[in-house]
Structure 1
Amino acid sequence: MSRFLVKKVAVLGAGVMGAQIAAHLVNVKVPVVLFDLPAKEGPKNGIVSKAIEGLKKLKPSPLGVVDDASLIVQANYEEHMEQLKDCDLIIEAIAERMDWKLDLYKKIAPFIAPHAIVASNTSGLSITKLSEALLEEIKPRFCGIHFFNPPRYMYLVELISTPTTQPLVLDQLETFVTSGLGKGVVRAKDTPNFIANRVGIAGMLGTMREVEKFGLSFDVVDDLTGKKLGRASSGTFRTADVVGLDTMAHVIKTLQDNLDEKSDPFYPSFGTPDVLKTLLEMGNLGQKSKAGFYKKVGRDVLRFDAASKEYVPGGEKADEVYGRMLKKPAGERLKLLRESSGPQGQFLWAILRNGFHYAAVHLASIAETARDVDQALRWGFGMQQGPFELWQEAGWLQVAQWINEDIEAGKTLSKAPLPAWVTKGPVADAGGVHTAEGSWNPTSGKFEPRRVLPVYQRQIFPELLRGEAGPKFETAGKTLHEDDAIRLWTLDDEILIASIKTKMHAISPEVCEGLMQAVDLAEKDYQGLVVWSGDEPFSVGADLQAMLPAFMVVGVSAIDDAEGFMQQTMLRLRYATVPVVSAIRGMALGGGCELAVYSAKRVAAMESYIGLVEVGVGLVPGAGGLTYIARRAAENAATSTDKDLLKFVTEGFTAAAMAKVGTSALESRKLGFLLDDDIVVPNKDELLYVAVQQAKAMYDVGYRPPHKRLFPVAGRNGKATIQGQLVNMRDGGFISSHDFHIASLIAGVVTGGDVEANTMVTEEYLMTLERHAFCALVQHPKTQERILGMLNTGKPLRN
C-alpha cells in the first residue's frame, strides 16, 4: 500500500469538536489550520481566536501543553481558502445541518488538492447523502470520520465509507488515525448514528425507561451502572451531564428523524424522556451549564428530582447485595439478577437484556461483524466488555433462552425476535460470536478475522475481545525468569523485556532484584533491555506497604537498606552497557518516575502522567529522584547561556516539593521527566514495538553508557534562598509546618547539603543525603499519619 503522508490538516469549523480535533492534531505534531466563518465584527478570525482561547480553559485539557494552542493556524473562509490546497486531509466539523455542510462542500471544492482526503466529522448524518454535493473527482476520496468527545481522550474513531469511496482511501485514513492520532478505528455502515451512538444512546434511552419503571433515583442508578457494572465510573446520568444534555437530545433526534418502527422495532422507546425535556426547558444542559441531572452547590452534589423539579441532596448508594452479585462470574451474575425480587436487581437485568437484544437485532444493519459493536462500545462508552462479550461469557444459549422468554412475556422494549443466527448454526455451535477464527458477520454468515493492514503489525499485543485468539503478553515469547514480582522474557532473542507483576506495578525489593538480574542477562546475551509491563500503570512507585513490617520489626535501618538497594538498582540501569528503555503508559509516579529517568531512554504513550509525588505521603523521593534533579540542573546550566545554576535547580525543586505530575507526556517533558529526544507514541498499543525498535537502534549505533561525572551543586546559599521563599509560604498559611519541613529537606538534597556553591559532587553522595532525609521522615509522627492515611483511604492527608 502506498504511503499516505499527512503534512498538514485543515479542520473546518471551530466549534466544540472542531477546535478539540485541531488541538489533538497539535498534540501529535501534525500542523493544522482551523477554519470558521469570518467574524462580523472585529478581526476576521475572531471566531477561531475565541475558540482557541477556550481550549486553554477546558478541563480536562484538550491540549497536552496549553501553550501549544498557539500552533493552531487561524483561518476563515473569506480570506484563506488557498491554504486548503496545501492540506492532505480536510476534516469538516461544522454544525449537524445537512444544508450547511452541503453548501460548504461546494465552496471548498475548487481548493481541494488532487490527492487530499475529505472527511466529515458527523455523529449521524448520512455520509452518502453528504457526498452527493461533491465533484465526481472528489467522491472517491470522501468518507465519514466520527471522533468521540473529548477527542484527545476518547479512543474510538468510526470511519464510514460511501458507495463511491475508494477502499485504498479508507485504508490510508485508518492507518493515519491509528498510528498518527493514536486511535482505535471501527468501520461503521452508513446508518443513523453509526455503531457506538446507535447502540449506546439506545441503551441510555432504554435505561431511562427502566428507571421510570422501577422508580430508582439517578444517583442509585449511576452507582449501579458505573464501575460495578464494568462501565465508565460516571454511570448513566453523570455521563449524560458530561456529554451535554443538548448534545444527547440532538443524537436522540437523529434517531427519531431517520428511523421508524419499520426500520427499527425499538423505535417506540426513542421518545425524548420527560425528565430530559424538563431539564432542557430549564436551560440545564449538564456540566457546561453547571446543572443537569446533577448540580454542585459548594461541596455538595445535588440530584434532580423529576417529581418536584427541584434539586435535592444526592449521594444515595445502591444496596450492597447487588454490588456483591456483580462480582460473581458472568453466568451466575446474570442469573442472580434475573431472579432477583428487588427493583435494583430487576433493573440491572433489564438494561443488560435490552442491550443484548438491541445489539443482536441490529448487528447486520449497522456493522460488518460483532467485533465492531463490542469495540465501539468499549472505546466509545468506556465499557470493560461489549454486549456480545458479556453475553458470550455468561453462556450464549442460556442467555438467549432468557431473552426469548422475556420477549414472550412482554418484558422487553420490543417484541422483535432474536435473529435466527443467534440460536441456530455456527454461532450457537461455537457458543458465541467471537472465536479463534474471527468474529461473526451475519451478512456473510462467517466468522471473519481482523482487518490486515501494515499498521497493525506495530501492535504486538492488540486489545483482544473475549473469545478472540491472539497473543497475550503474560505468556508470549520465551521466559528466562519469572517469579511473583517480575517476568524476564524475549520475543526475538535480541531484546530482553522486563515486566513488573506486582499490584499497580509497585517497586518492591523483589522487583529491584529482578531488574538487577535483567541488566545482568541483557549485558550478557542481548542488545538491550525494555521495561514494559503490558498495561497501565507503568508504576505507582515504591511498595511502602511491603516496607512497613520490616520497619516495625527492625527499625529504620530496614528502610535505609531498602532505599539503598533501590538506589543501587537505578544506578545499575543508568550505567548498564546495553541501552535500557522504559516504555511508559499511564502513571509513572515516585519510584516509577525514578525508574524512568534512570533509563537510557523513555518511550511514552501520550497519556502518561509522570512525577515525583512522595510529599503526598510525607516523604521525599528516595531512590534517586532528587539526585536526578540536581544532576539535570547542572547539565542544563552547562549547555545554557544562563549559567545561574540555582535557577535550574529551583525548577526541579518546585516539581518535587509541589508533587507536580505531568498531565500528558508532553507536559512531563516540560517538567523535565522526559527529555527532548525521548519518544512520545500516540497509540498505546504501539508502545512495546517502538520501545524495542529504539533499543535496537541504540545498540546498532554502538551505544555506550554515560561517563560517571562530578557535577556542581548550588550549596548552602542556594538552600537558604529556596528556604526563604518557603518561610513566606509557611507564614502566609499556604503550607503547613510539616510541608515546610519536607520541602526544606528536599531543598537541602537538591542543593548538595552543607557545602559551598559549585562544589563538585557525585551521584552517590547526593543519594546518601536523599536516603538520610527519607529515613528521617519515616520516623516522623506526621509522616506516619500521612502514610497510614494514604494506605487506608487512597487520598493524601494534609497535616
Structure 2
Amino acid sequence: MSRFNVRKVAVLGAGVMGAQIAAHLVNVKVPVVLFDLPAKEGPKNGIVTKAVDGLKKIKPSPLGIPEDAALIQQANYEEHLELLKDCDLIIEAIAERMDWKLDLYTKVAPFIAPHAIVASNTSGLSITKLSEVLPAEIKPRFCGIHFFNPPRYMYLVELIPTPTTRPEILDQLESFVTTALGKGVVRAKDTPNFVANRVGIANMLSTMKEAENFGLSYDVVDDLTGKKLGRASSGTFRTADVVGLDTMAHVMKTMQDNLKDDPFYAAYETPKAVAALIEKGALGQKTGAGFYKKVGKDIQRLDPAKGEYVAAGGKADEIVARMLKKAPAERLKLLRESTNPQAQFLWAILRNGFHYAAVHLGDIADSAREIDLALRWGFGMSQGPFELWQQAGWKQVAEWVKADIDAGKALSKAPLPAWVFDGRDGVHTAEGSWSASQNKYLPKSNLPVYQRQHFPEALFGSGAVDPLKSGTEEFKNDEVRAWTLDGEVLILSITSKLHLIGEGVIDGIAKAVDVAEAKYKGLVIWSPDDVFSAGANLESMLPVFMKSGAKGIAPMIKKLQDTMLRMRYSTVPVIAAVRGIALGGGCEIAVYTTKRVAAMESYMGLVEVGVGLIPGGGGLTYIARRAAEMASAANANADILKFLTEGFTAAAMAKVGTSAIENRKNGYLLWSDIVVPNKDELLYVASQQAKSLYESGYRAPAKAVFPVAGRNGIATIKAQLVNMRDGGFISQHDFHIGALIADVVCGGDVDAGSLVNEEYLMTLERKHFCSLLEHPKSQERAMGMLSTGKPVRN
C-alpha cells in the first residue's frame, strides 16, 4: 500500500475540539487550515482568530510551543471554501448536531478534492446517517474519526466506517493517524457512542449507581477508582467534572435515545445528582463547580444529602487498599467475599464491567482487543475489562458473575453469552483476540505501519514478548541490558528504577560503546517505557559521601564525564531514543549522543538546581560549546554571551521543556534531531538513523577548542543575578549556584574569546559540583528531595 500523502488538512469548526485538533496537526508539522462561520462583526475570521488565540492560554498546552499558533491558517465558510480543494484530509469537528453537520456537508461538498478523505469527529452520532447527504463520489471516502480530549495528549482515536466506506480509505487514514499524528487507532462499529464512550460511560454510570447503593462519598469513590484500581488518577466523579457534566449528559442522551432495546437500558438513566448539578449550571471544572468545588486552596466535595459542599479528602479504608495490591485472582476473591462496603462496591463495579463488555462485544467491536485498548487509551485504565477477567481466572470469574446475575445483583438480567462458558481460559491469545460477531480469534492488523512498531502495547494473554527479554543479549548488569534485534544495531536499555544513573549505568554505557564499535553499525539507547532517565541516583551516592565526603564522589563524576565524551567521539553513531522524562544526567546522556530521536511527549531539562547542585555530567560544558558553535555560525566576531543566555537560564532555572518542540527551543534537541509522533515507532526510527549514518560513512566530530565568554560574561550574568536576588526573586543560595553555573558556561577566570576544550570545562564543572555537595544549603535541598520528592527552596 502506498503512503497516503497528506500535504494539508482542513478542520471544519473552531470549537474546543476543532481548534485543538488543528493545534496537534501543527505540532506534528502538518499544514492545517481552520474554518468556522464568518463573524457577524469585525473581521470575518474573528471566530477562528479568537479560538487560535485561546489555544495559547489552555493548560496543559495543546501546542508544543505557543508561537506555533501562528502556523494555523485561518478561514471562514463565506470567503475561503476554495481552500478545501488543496486539502487531502478534511476533518469536520462542529457541534454534535446532526442537522448542523448535514447542512455543512452540503455547503462544502462541491469544493472537496476528488481524492480527499472526509471524516467527522463525532463522539457518538451515526456515521452512516451523516454520510447520506454526501454526493455518491464522496461517500466511499467518508468515515468517522473520534479524537479524545485533549487531542494532543490522549492516545486514542476511533475510526468508524460506513457500509460504503472503501476499505483502503480506512487503511490510509489509520496509517496517517498512527505514524503522523502519533495515535493508537481502534476501529469501531457504527453503533451509538462507538467503543470507548459506550463502555466507558456505562462503567461511569454503574460506578455512580453503586456508590449511591453503598452510601459512599464522591471523594472516597474517586480514591477507590483511581490509581489504586489501576485507572486514571482522577477517579470517577473528578473525571466527570473535567470532561464536563453537560458533555457526559450528551453522551448519555445518545444512549437513552438510541438504545431502547438494550438489556442495560435502565442503567443509562441520568443520575439524579448529575441532573441536579446541570440544572444549577454546575457543569464541573469549566464552571468552577460540579461534584467538586475549589474554595481558595481547598477542594470541597458536594454532599448530596445536604445539598452543599463540604471538606473533601476521604480515602479508601486501609484494608481495602491492601486488597487492591494483591494479584488479580486473589484481589477479586477478597473483594467479592468481604463484608466491607467499599470492597463490595468495587466487586460490584468490576462485575458490572465484565458483564456489560461480554454482552455487547459482538455488537460494538470486531474483537475484545478493541474494547480493552479503547479503555486503556481513552479512559486511562491500566487494563481493560477482558484483560483483568482473563488474568484473574476466566472460568472462576465467569461463574461469580453468573451467580450475581442469577441472584438479581447485576445491572441487567441479560445472561452472559454462551461463548463465555465454552471451556475457554480467556479472549486474548497469541493467535488473536476473540470476535463474538465472527465466532473466531482475529489477529492484529497487519498494515505496513505496524511493522514500524517493534514492541507495541500488548494485551495480557496475547503472547507478546517482553522487550527486555527479546533479541540476542550481549551483556547485562544490575542497571542495564545490551542486546540486539537485527545483529546490526546494539540497543542499550537502562533497567534501574526510573532509569537512575548509578555506576552500573555509567559502566554499561562505556562497555556498550566498546562493543558497538567492535561489532555493530551503531548504538541506540532506548527503554520500553515513559522514562529515558530521571537523572543521577543520589541515594546510591550517599554511602560514598558519608564515608569520604565530596572527594569520594569526584572520581565517579569524572567517570561519568569521560563516558559522555566516549559517546560523543564514538567511531559508530550513538542515538538517544528519548521518550518521557530525560532530566539531569538523563538529559546529559541525550545531548552527548550523536543524534536524538525523540517522542513528541519528551520532557528534558537540567534540573540539578532543585537538589542544590549544578549539572555535573557535562551539561554545562555542552551549553558553552553550543553557544560557541551558534555564535560562529552567525558571525565570526559574534558576541558569545548573546548565544549563551538561553542555555544559562534553562540550567539556572531548572527549566524543563514540555514537548520535543520546546526542547529544541531550549537547545536540548537540535533541528537536525528527529521528532517521532508515535512512541511505539521510536526504536524503529532510532535504529534506522543509526544504520543510515553508518552507511553514509559516519565520522565522529573532530575534537576541537572553542571560545568562551570569559570573566566579562561572568560579570554580566552575576549583575543580573544580583538584581534578581535583591528583588527577592531568588535566594542567596540560588545566587551562589547561579554564579557557579555562570563560571562554568563562561569558561572561568579567562579573557573573553579564550579558547578552551571540553575537558577543561568539565574540570570546572566537577570542582563546583563537589563544592556544592558539602554546602549545608545544598544538603538541605538534596535530603528534602530524597525524603519528600519535592524541591526545597532555601
Q: 1:557 aligns with which of 551, 561, 576?
A: 551
Q: 1:590 aligns with which of 584, 589, 605?
A: 584
Letter aligned with residue 62 of structure 1: P
Instruction: Please report how far the alpha carbon of residue 593 of structure 1 lies from its aligned counterpart in structure 2 after TM superposition.
Output: 0.2
Instruction: Please report how far the alpha carbon of residue 3 of structure 1 lies from its aligned counterpart in structure 2 after TM superposition.
Output: 2.4
Residue number in structure 1 paired with 2:276: 278
Residue number in structure 1 paired with 2:712: 717
Deviations 1:121-153 (Å, cap 9, x if unpaired)? 000000000010000011000000000000000
Q: Secondary structure at the match of 1:30?
A: coil
Q: 2:699 aligns with which of 693, 701, 704?
A: 704
Q: 1:747 aligns with which of 742, 746, 749?
A: 742
Residues in 1 aligned to 2:462 and 2:270: alpha-carbon distance in whole angstroms = 37
Residue number in structure 1 paired with 2:570: 576
Residue number in structure 2 paired with 1:327: 325
Residue number in structure 2 paired with 1:142: 142
Residues in 2 aligned to 1:743 and 1:221: alpha-carbon distance in whole angstroms = 46
Deviations 1:43-89 (Å, cap 9, x if unpaired)? 00000000001101000000011100000000000000000000000
On the 8 A contact 2:579/2:679 being kept in 1, the answer is yes
**TM-score, structure 1 length as denominator?**
0.98
Q: Secondary structure at the match of 1:434?
A: coil
Matched, 1:599 2:570: no
Residue number in structure 1 paired with 2:153: 153
Matched, 1:632 2:626: yes
Deviations 1:236-278 (Å, cap 9, x if unpaired)? 1111111111111111111111111x2x111111111111122
Residues in 2 aligned to 1:740 and 1:298: alpha-carbon distance in whole angstroms = 32
Letter aligned with residue 788 of structure 1: M
Residues in 2 aligned to 1:101 and 1:303: alpha-carbon distance in whole angstroms = 38
Matched, 1:615 2:613: no
Q: 1:507 aligns with which of 485, 501, 511?
A: 501
Residue number in structure 2 paired with 1:660: 655
Residue number in structure 1 paired with 2:126: 126
On the 8 A contact 2:8/2:30 being kept in 1, the answer is yes
Instruction: Please report how far the alpha carbon of residue 2 of structure 1 lies from its aligned counterpart in structure 2 after TM superposition.
Output: 2.8
Instruction: Please report how far the alpha carbon of residue 294 of structure 1 lies from its aligned counterpart in structure 2 after TM superposition.
Output: 1.5
Residues in 2 aligned to 1:53 and 1:582: alpha-carbon distance in whole angstroms = 35
On the 8 A contact 2:82/2:111 being kept in 1, the answer is yes
Instruction: Please report how far the alpha carbon of residue 787 of structure 1 lies from its aligned counterpart in structure 2 after TM superposition.
Output: 1.2
On the 8 A contact 2:292/2:299 being kept in 1, the answer is yes
On the 8 A contact 2:523/2:572 being kept in 1, the answer is yes
Instruction: Please report how far the alpha carbon of residue 417 of structure 1 lies from its aligned counterpart in structure 2 after TM superposition.
Output: 0.6
Q: Secondary structure at the match of 2:750?
A: coil
Residues in 2 aligned to 1:506 and 1:765: alpha-carbon distance in whole angstroms = 26
Residues in 1 aligned to 2:447 and 2:159: alpha-carbon distance in whole angstroms = 15
Instruction: Please report how far the alpha carbon of residue 309 of structure 1 lies from its aligned counterpart in structure 2 after TM superposition.
Output: 2.0
Residues in 1 aligned to 2:576 and 2:584: alpha-carbon distance in whole angstroms = 15
Matched, 1:737 2:735: no
Letter aligned with residue 513 of structure 2: V
Q: 2:786 aligns with which of 772, 788, 791?
A: 791
- Alignment size in residue pairs: 793
Residues in 2 aligned to 1:224 and 1:340: alpha-carbon distance in whole angstroms = 15
Residues in 2 aligned to 1:773 and 1:326: alpha-carbon distance in whole angstroms = 47
Q: Secondary structure at the match of 1:4?
A: coil
On the 8 A contact 2:549/2:774 being kept in 1, the answer is no
Residues in 2 aligned to 1:336 and 1:198: alpha-carbon distance in whole angstroms = 29
Residue number in structure 2 paired with 1:772: 767
Q: 2:406 aligns with which of 399, 404, 408?
A: 408
Instruction: Please report how far the alpha carbon of residue 555 of structure 1 lies from its aligned counterpart in structure 2 after TM superposition.
Output: 1.8
Residues in 1 aligned to 2:527 and 2:95: alpha-carbon distance in whole angstroms = 42
On the 8 A contact 2:588/2:619 being kept in 1, the answer is yes
Instruction: Please report how far the alpha carbon of residue 302 of structure 1 lies from its aligned counterpart in structure 2 after TM superposition.
Output: 1.1
Q: Secondary structure at the match of 2:742?
A: helix
Residue number in structure 2 paired with 1:108: 108
Residues in 1 aligned to 2:561 and 2:242: alpha-carbon distance in whole angstroms = 44
Instruction: Please report how far the alpha carbon of residue 756 of structure 1 lies from its aligned counterpart in structure 2 after TM superposition.
Output: 1.3
RMSD: 0.9
Letter aligned with residue 671 of structure 1: N
Residues in 2 aligned to 1:552 and 1:396: alpha-carbon distance in whole angstroms = 53
| Percentage of matched positions with identical amino acids | 72
Letter aligned with residue 630 of structure 1: A
User: Structure 1 residues 174-183 or 1-10, which shifts more?
Assistant: 1-10
User: Structure 1 residues 664-673 or 245-254, which shifts more?
Assistant: 245-254
Letter aligned with residue 239 of structure 1: T
Q: Secondary structure at the match of 1:639?
A: helix
Matched, 1:375 2:370: no
Residues in 2 aligned to 1:307 and 1:787: alpha-carbon distance in whole angstroms = 47
Residue number in structure 1 paired with 2:488: 494
1:517-556 matches, within 5 Å, as 517-556=511-550
Letter aligned with residue 778 of structure 1: L
Q: Secondary structure at the match of 1:529?
A: strand
Residue number in structure 2 paired with 1:84: 84
Instruction: Please report how far the alpha carbon of residue 729 of structure 1 lies from its aligned counterpart in structure 2 after TM superposition.
Output: 1.2
Residue number in structure 1 paired with 2:258: 258
Instruction: Please report how far the alpha carbon of residue 286 of structure 1 lies from its aligned counterpart in structure 2 after TM superposition.
Output: 1.5
Letter aligned with residue 300 of structure 2: L
* Structure 1 segments of 4+ aligned residues over 4 angstroms from their partners: none
Matched, 1:310 2:308: yes
Instruction: Please report how far the alpha carbon of residue 175 of structure 1 lies from its aligned counterpart in structure 2 after TM superposition.
Output: 0.4
On the 8 A contact 2:11/2:91 being kept in 1, the answer is yes
Residue number in structure 1 paired with 2:210: 210
Residue number in structure 2 paired with 1:397: 395
Deviations 1:635-684 (Å, cap 9, x if unpaired)? 11111148121111111110000011110000000000000010000000
Residue number in structure 2 paired with 1:447: 441
Instruction: Please report how far the alpha carbon of residue 469 of structure 1 lies from its aligned counterpart in structure 2 after TM superposition.
Output: 2.2
User: Structure 1 residues 209-218 or 143-152, which shifts more?
Assistant: 209-218
Instruction: Please report how far the alpha carbon of residue 436 of structure 1 lies from its aligned counterpart in structure 2 after TM superposition.
Output: 1.1
1:168-179 matches, within 5 Å, as 168-179=168-179
Matched, 1:65 2:60: no
Letter aligned with residue 775 of structure 1: C
Residue number in structure 1 paired with 2:456: 462
Residue number in structure 2 paired with 1:763: 758
Residue number in structure 1 paired with 2:220: 220
Q: Secondary structure at the match of 1:488?
A: strand
For structure 1, the residue ranges without an aligned partner over 5 or more in a row are none
Instruction: Please report how far the alpha carbon of residue 475 of structure 1 lies from its aligned counterpart in structure 2 after TM superposition.
Output: 1.3
Residues in 1 aligned to 2:277 and 2:771: alpha-carbon distance in whole angstroms = 56
Matched, 1:293 2:288: no
Letter aligned with residue 276 of structure 2: T
Instruction: Please report how far the alpha carbon of residue 14 of structure 1 lies from its aligned counterpart in structure 2 after TM superposition.
Output: 0.4
Letter aligned with residue 559 of structure 1: I
Letter aligned with residue 719 of structure 1: I
**TM-score, structure 2 length as denominator?**
0.99
Residues in 2 aligned to 1:62 and 1:276: alpha-carbon distance in whole angstroms = 28
Residues in 2 aligned to 1:788 and 1:354: alpha-carbon distance in whole angstroms = 46
Residue number in structure 2 paired with 1:342: 340
Residues in 2 aligned to 1:323 and 1:730: alpha-carbon distance in whole angstroms = 46
Residues in 1 aligned to 2:218 and 2:737: alpha-carbon distance in whole angstroms = 44
Letter aligned with residue 732 of structure 1: G
Q: Secondary structure at the match of 1:581?
A: strand
Residues in 2 aligned to 1:128 and 1:366: alpha-carbon distance in whole angstroms = 15
Residue number in structure 2 paired with 1:423: 421
Q: Secondary structure at the match of 1:705?
A: coil
Letter aligned with residue 583 of structure 1: A
Residues in 1 aligned to 2:612 and 2:315: alpha-carbon distance in whole angstroms = 33
Letter aligned with residue 511 of structure 2: Q
Residues in 2 aligned to 1:200 and 1:190: alpha-carbon distance in whole angstroms = 16
Residues in 1 aligned to 2:364 and 2:442: alpha-carbon distance in whole angstroms = 16
